[in-house]
Amino acid sequence: MTLASMARKYEPRRVAQTKVATSAMIASLAAEGYDTVNAPFGHALVELAKKDKRIVGLSADLSKYTDLHIFANEMPERFYQMGMAEQLLFSAASGLAREGFIPFATTYAVFASRRAYDFIAMAIAEENLPVKIACALPGLTTGYGPSHQATEDLAIFRGLPNMVLIDPCDAADVAGMVPAMVAHDGPVYARLLRGKVPSVLRKHKPDYKFELGKAQMIREGRDVLVISTGIMTMRALDAAVKLADDNVDVGVLHVPTIKPLDVETIRAEAAKQGRLVVTAENHTVNGGLGEAVATTLLTAGIAPQFRMIGLPDEFLEAGALPTLHEMYGLSVDKVAERIKSWL
């Protein structure tokens, strides 16, 4: 929250003309114009687990809110309800991995990154154990305020050696990342989209397929290159369609793997002359994709005109998600507006 908002604590409020309620935590992300897929994470995990006996699932009292309940219902003997105990969740997952299993451990991104960090660092990452961490409510995807908004999870985990980081955009990414997480022999932290998850990428690029560690051009464009991750790729694509009406040609490079970063593709695309480069992420501008891209370009002597879209270095407000996305610049309109202002 801003200091100005805090100062309004004792100021009485009136009921607004148009009521916009805080979206519940369990609500799916609204994405107009896209079809949705139900619980892609849970269904992909069940399919894979049928073939791979090493897979087990654990949750810290949030299986229903991470779509792990699909797996738990299908394979109850392979599911561990660990209770509301995140330190235990990741320690026990580490123990199961030591005995040859591939545990998928789910909770909210805030609890994994803030509360259980030391356990993920020392019991999992330090020994490169194949624990797969999948966490709901990444960045600004809930209106509950800072207790549930994981605005700095990627910054926290980017500093952790051995950890692979994924920020999926849509249902194709979520379904595609599950087998990739298992195929990678080591720890993975994936941000999760749950519930009804939009199908975005294949609408823009029909043959799109998630590949771990690969950035992919979803849309070509001559004037602007947006390098985006997570749900901000959806926003960037929608903004690009909007800006095309104003004769601004926007290309979108989707970077679902934050670590290891696809340095080659990012450098090659950013080095193409004459484009404004804009990074876009559902995360604080401190320590996320934007800074990673900036480092990647500067160390290679690539210096295009460069701007960053992301969340401010603040604890964010509570409220309805569309309002908050507008307020913090993550809405399609705001993204388009800002890109235009930089040209």
Stretch that binds another protein, among 43-51, 88-96, 268-276, 282-290 (CB under 8 A): 88-96
Q: Which of positions 115-174 make contact with another protein (CB under 8 A)?
A: 118-119, 121-123, 126-127
Report 39-58 residues binding another protein (CB under 8 A).
56
Spatial distance between the Cα atoms of 289 and 155, rounded to a whole number of angstroms: 9
With contacts defined by CB under 8 A, name the span among 32-40, 92-100, 230-238, 291-299 that binds another protein.
92-100
Strands 55-59 and 216-219: unpaired
The interface region with another protein, picked from 7-15, 81-89, 150-158, 181-189 by CB under 8 A, is: 81-89
Please give the sequence-ordered ranges of beta strands (E in DSSP) within 3-46, or none if there are none.
Answer: 36-38
Q: From CA 93, how far away is CA 189, in angstroms rounded? A: 13
Told to check if 82 binds another protein by CB under 8 A, we report yes
Residue 91 binds another protein, judged by CB under 8 A? yes
- Check binding of 106 to another protein (CB under 8 A): no
How many residues make contact with another protein (CB under 8 A)?
A: 27
Q: How far is the CB of 113 from another protein (least distance, A)?
A: 16
For 4, 119, 150, the CA distances from 114, given in Å and listed in that order, are: 26, 11, 9
Q: Does 93 bind another protein (CB under 8 A)?
A: yes
Which residue is listed with tokens 């720890």? Answer: 187
Under the binding rule (CB under 8 A), the answer on residue 333 touching another protein is no
CA-to-CA distance for 148 and 144, rounded, in angstroms? 6
Nearest Cα to Cα of residue 288 among 266, 310, 319, 321: 310
CA 233 to chain centre: 10
Options 92, 227, 292, 293; binder of another protein; rule CB under 8 A: 92
Among 11, 99, 207, 246, binds another protein (CB under 8 A): 99
Report d(CA 229, CA 234) in Å as an integer: 9
User: Tokens 């320690």 map to which residue?
Assistant: 91
Q: Which residues bind another protein (CB under 8 A)?
A: 56, 80, 82-83, 85, 87-88, 90-101, 103, 118-119, 121-123, 126-127
